[in-house]
Structure 1
Amino acid sequence: MKKSSRFLFPVDLQTFAEGGEESNGGQGNPSGEQPPNNVQAFTLDAVQKWFNDDAEAKKWFQSQKDAHFTKGLETWQKNNMSKLIDEEIAKRYPPETEEQKQLRELKQQFEQEKQARVRQELKNKALAIATEKSLPTGLVDFFVGADEDTTLSNLGTLEQAFNAAVQAFVEAKFKQGGRQPHDSGSQTPDSLQKQLEDAAERARRTGRDEDMAAYSALKLQMMQSQQK
């Protein structure tokens, strides 16, 4: 048989629920008089029955439990969450050992040196092509790609743009002088090539506008002779 827990003093549950004031300064029943009939013994069973049967009491008690749980959870998170996150990060991404760090740095250095070596090789090849085609070598750095195919494609784009600019420049110069470009029919390809090489060398050496114009004119003549 279940034995009810019982306190040593009687309590008026109605007064307890309504928040009534105690009499006699909380001294219980010093006169020794018997409590009236409406006073019930304050037992654990009575309190449990009150919470189970009274909807308002049950609602209030649940709100107190929720508030206590929420506050406890917030306190736990404040005191422990940062530590747990740090531990999980350390577990997933453990710190490098000195040996691992040195190995990683060596790999990075090797990759950087390899990329620099490949780029220098591509640049040298691009410079050779640009020199052969009399393209401005100062622009080569901007046309070096990630690999040889990309670099050659970029140089092809440079060549087309440069030739178009040369033709436009030469035509504009001759129009300013009121004459047309010379007919190259009387000159052989070899002689034009020699003149073009000399003009290109002179233009690179001096950088003067007139030398660049002379080179451009010869370049245009060479293009026209190749089209015939």
Structure 2
Amino acid sequence: MAIENFNEITEYFTTNKDSEDVKNFMNGLINVDKVKNFLETNEEGKQYLQTYGDKRVTKGVETFKTNTLPKLIEEEIAKRNPSNKDPREIKLEQALAEIDKIKAESLKKDLANKALKVATEKKLPSDILNYFIGSDEETTMNNLTALEKSLETYTQSVKDDFLKSGTHIPPKGDNLPTTEEQAQAEINKCFGL
């Protein structure tokens, strides 16, 4: 019997579904379960599946080697050997270092100006201020406060010693140090300068 169109085929299978020939034909059609069963149980299917898997993995490894591995190698070399940096990176690092240096110098000048202002207000000697300038404003102000307290304590102890001695004998001679020179000598002695 010749089949001329698809409707005739469908009608034939529907009307003859109980026929042994139709049942055998329908059971022989390929579906997903049959393909899985073939690949898992049949030796030829297993070999095909292994070959296919190997090809896909090999292709994936080659793609990784081509696209990703060179970048990873370059990054690791750059981490371990910083001398192989791009000239732009080197210039950028130098520029950033210069900016940091300028900021540090500016901060030091600002701190020196603030320290001088505070020292003038508190009547502290300005020629030793550089030794008390810290890395930030808070540290600098704490250092100046400590200097002020030290000088007050020292001044008070000198006054107390003078008052305890009871009498003052003026020094003899023409080359006598001035009060300012004596104070500076005492400060230098106190701070080990």
TM-score, scaled to structure 1: 0.39
Higher RCO structure (Cα 8 Å, ≥6 apart) = 1
Q: Which has more strand, going by share of residues? A: 1
